[in-house]
Every structure is written in C-alpha cells, then in structure tokens.
C-alpha cells in the first residue's frame, strides 16, 4: 500500500508534546489514508493515548499539528469518533442501552422521530437489539464495549480512533469483537486508527502497524501487513507471513513490553 498518498485523511506533522520540561512525544509524523486500518503499538507509557487524544482534538500539541482532510484539528470534530478502553466510564449508567445510543443521535441533531429506527439499526449491527431497555451495569464487558461502539457509529464517523478498546476483555470476547469491528468498519468505509499493546492483535487487524518507542514517545518502524481479507482467527494467525510479522515486531519492541 502506498503510505505517502498526497491526500491523506489524517496527517500528523512534526508533533511534539511536553509537560513542563518532560518531553512526552517527539517529532511525530504520520499519515493515515482514507479507509485504511492502521494499528499503533508500543509499550505502556510510550505516549499512545496522548497521541490519540491529539488526533481527536482533545489535547493540543506543544509544537506541530494534526490535520483532518487538510484542515487543522483544533477541537473535537463530528466526523471523528473515539472508542476508549474504559467502556464503563464512557457510558452513562443512568441511561438504558437505547438511551446511550440516542445520546449520540441527539448530539448530531437527528430528529426525534427518526431516532427509534436508527437506534434499532445500530443495536442490530452490534448484536444488542434484545438489550435495548437494559442498563449498562446489566451488560457484560463485551456488550458494554459493543454499546460504546454503537454509540460511536451513531455519529456516522469517517474516522474511528480506538484506544486499546479490547484491553479489558477476555480472549474469546476479544477475538469476536476484533472480527465484528473489522466487518463494521469495512461495511461502512470507516478509517480506523487502533491502538493496542497486543502485537498479534495489531497484525491481525491492520493494513499497517506502526510501532512507537518510549521516553520520549516517537515513531519507530512501520510494517505493511500483506495478509488477505477477510481475515480468519485460525488461518490468518497460522499464515507464515503472520508469523514473520510477529517475529519482526517482537524484535522491534523491547522485552517487558
């Protein structure tokens, strides 16, 4: 894949971030192309969340900038949605499943009369149509994360930023959600930046995997993942190319990762 396309969807240029004298991110440059699925991996504390927050317009860099469709990102953008690891904090506990999705539709000024159908369609997409009247606390972790994803999709985003979204889930749920997110994003043509510290997850999902180094956080290597789609939890993970990428990434990222 050509990673130097002239019109990337998102562009991070010469981005630096310091807190007092502490340098957290140094000279980050990267471009995300339309409909690409890009994974960013790196050890805990290397600055992944900080970088993602800057891409989302939730935090300003000390130097450099982020642009989306050629416009500088200076605050949250309606076409950019964020899925956080901590689904419990991201959901409103006093609103039902349907109410949580409705919130995003209200935020996008979708007329009240259209909301019930839109909510139903979104809940069907993530397999929660039977739980519309439940409260978040009554759902499993995987279901809560599905709900957060449905709420993000309600915004009809063009770019989905995901910060270790499956980090708190058990291995089986995680694999199911990996496949669901891939399918949802492909079907709706959404571009994804997916942060994880799980190297195999990154290879399984990504068109490209970018590694980050720590202290200060900077971009390391980029791997273009040339594995066929749709991917499959068994055959893709047994593909010799998958194993070669895994080997390459494990060598790049220091032990204790």
Instruction: Write the DSSP string, 46-58.
Output: SSHHHHHHHHTTS
Annotate each residue in 231-250 with x if it binds ligand ADP (CB under 6 A) or - if it does not, as one string.
--------------------
Three-point CA angle 154, 156, 162, nearest 5°: 85
Binding piece for Mg ion, criterion CB under 5 A, among 4-12, 21-29, 45-53, 140-148? 45-53
Whole-Å CA distances, 47 to 149, 165, 212 = 23, 16, 8
- Kindly state whether residue 32 participates in binding ligand ADP, applying the rule CB under 6 A: no
Q: Over the range 28-60, which residues count as b (16 or more CB within 10 Å of their CB) and which as e?
A: bebbbbeebbbbbbbbeebbbbbbbbbbbbeee
Kindly state the smallest distance separating residue 209's Cβ from Mg ion, in Å. Answer: 17
- C-beta of 60 vs 140, nearer to ligand ADP: 60
Q: Which of 26, 48, 118, 174 binds ligand ADP (CB under 6 A)?
A: 48
Kindly state the smallest distance separating residue 197's Cβ from Mg ion, in Å. Answer: 8
- Kindly state whether residue 44 participates in binding ligand ADP, applying the rule CB under 6 A: yes
- Kindly state whether residue 61 participates in binding ligand ADP, applying the rule CB under 6 A: no
Nearest to 48 by CA among 249, 256, 219: 219
42 binds, among ligand ADP, Mg ion, none (CB under 5 to 8 A by kind): ligand ADP
Three-point CA angle 123, 129, 131, nearest 5°: 110
Q: Which of 49, 67, 96, 176 binds Mg ion (CB under 5 A)?
A: 49
Phi, psi of 50 (to 5 degrees): -60, -45
- Kindly state whether residue 155 participates in binding ligand ADP, applying the rule CB under 6 A: no
Kindly state the smallest distance separating residue 60's Cβ from ligand ADP, in Å. Answer: 11
| Interacting residues of 112 by C-beta distance below 8 A, sequence separation 6+ | none
Contact set with ligand ADP (CB under 6 A)? 19, 24, 42, 44-50
């Amino acid at each position: 894949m050509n990673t130097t396309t002239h019109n990337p969807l998102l562009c991070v240029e010469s981005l630096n971030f310091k807190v007092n004298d502490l340098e957290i991110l140094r000279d980050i440059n990267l471009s995300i192309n339309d409909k690409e699925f890009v994974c960013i991996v790196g050890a805990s504390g290397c600055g992944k969340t900080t970088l993602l927050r800057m891409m989302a317009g939730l935090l300003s860099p000390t130097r450099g900038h982020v642009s989306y469709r050629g416009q500088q990102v200076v605050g949250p953008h309606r076409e950019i949605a964020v899925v956080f690891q901590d689904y419990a904090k991201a959901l409103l506990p006093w609103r039902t499943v349907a109410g949580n999705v409705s919130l995003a539709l209200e935020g996008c000024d979708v007329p009240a009369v259209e909301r019930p159908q839109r909510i139903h369609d979104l809940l069907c997409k993530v397999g929660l149509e039977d739980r519309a009247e439940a409260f978040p606390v009554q759902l499993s972790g995987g279901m809560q994360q599905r709900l957060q994803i449905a709420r993000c999709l309600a915004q009809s985003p063009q770019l989905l930023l995901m910060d270790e979204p499956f980090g708190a889930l058990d291995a089986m749920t995680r694999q199911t959600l990996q496949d669901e997110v891939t399918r949802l994003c492909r079907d709706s043509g959404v571009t994804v930046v997916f942060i994880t510290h799980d190297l195999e997850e990154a290879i399984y999902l990504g068109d490209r995997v970018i590694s980050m180094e720590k202290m200060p956080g900077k971009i390391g290597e980029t791997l273009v993942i040339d594995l066929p789609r749709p991917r499959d939890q068994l055959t893709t993970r047994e593909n010799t190319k998958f194993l070669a990428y895994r080997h390459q990434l494990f060598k790049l990222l220091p032990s204790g990762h």
